[in-house]
Amino acid sequence: MSEGTRFDGEVAIVTGGASGIGRASASLFANEGARVVIADVDEGKARRVAESIATAGGEVVVERVDLSSLSDLEALVERTAERFGQIDILANVAAIFPSASFMKTSPTAWDRIIDIDLKAVFFLTQAVARKMIEQNRGAIVNVASGAAFRPVPGMSAYSAAKGGLVAMTRTIAHELARYHIRVNVVAPGHTASETVRAQMSQRSLDAAADGLMAGRWLEPEETAEAIVFLASSAASGMSGAVINVNGGDFMPH
């Protein structure tokens, strides 16, 4: 792992850091000098990612966190602050995206999606913001989806959560700006994450790629680059913004 300079000495919490875009983001933050906290419910997979980062020279710790538990969220923030004395970056990457038609979505499924994809982001951001307000600085990046801007059949609850995430982020950005805390959104398109590859055959992936503007799926690292950019000083003038990383597949107004 090459030594970066964008985040030397800074502390970054990455939710969902055990796989996909979260894994790629955690690795890239570490590569750029950040001390990384991987927060994930899959502790075993998170530790494998952490081992890879540490072997390459990065500083990383793992926190097993159930995002549906408010007490887990508070504990994550307190342990991070106690360990490092600061929290500079929060990347809310973790999400679930079970598919079900609107008419077949149960209250239980709805609650689960909203709890993980929206409520957890709200309250983890709130807990982290308390620390950032004390520091009078910070950067928060929330990961939404193209489903926030266009209809995706079978994903009505997920779309509601991600659409809410975008609207919520803009308001939070407005309220936290006076404390020099920036809050932005990255909205990825079709990404060939480990989860997607586990659910789809290569033939299905190839067939779907034919219908995409760029003719291919995105890699998690491409969205991670946007997340890291928004957390960096290079994006110091950006707050409440939405960066779409989708290969041109959709272009919301």
The residues assigned a catalytic role are 158
- Distance between CA atoms of 246 and 27, rounded to whole angstroms? 21
Ramachandran region, residue 194 (left: φ > 0; alpha: ψ -120 to 50; beta: rest): alpha
Q: How far is CA 79 from the centre of its chain?
A: 20
- Joined tokens for residue 173: 């950005």
Contacts 24+ apart (CB under 8 A), 130-134: 130/77, 131/77, 131/81, 131/86, 131/87, 132/87, 132/88, 132/176, 132/179, 132/181, 133/176, 133/179, 133/181
Q: Would you tell me how many other CB atoms lie within 10 Å of the CB of residue 197?
A: 13
Burial of 232 (0-12, 13-18, 19+ CB in 10 A): middle
- Joined tokens for residue 49: 């990612």
What is the DSSP pairing of strand 35-40 with strand 138-143? unpaired
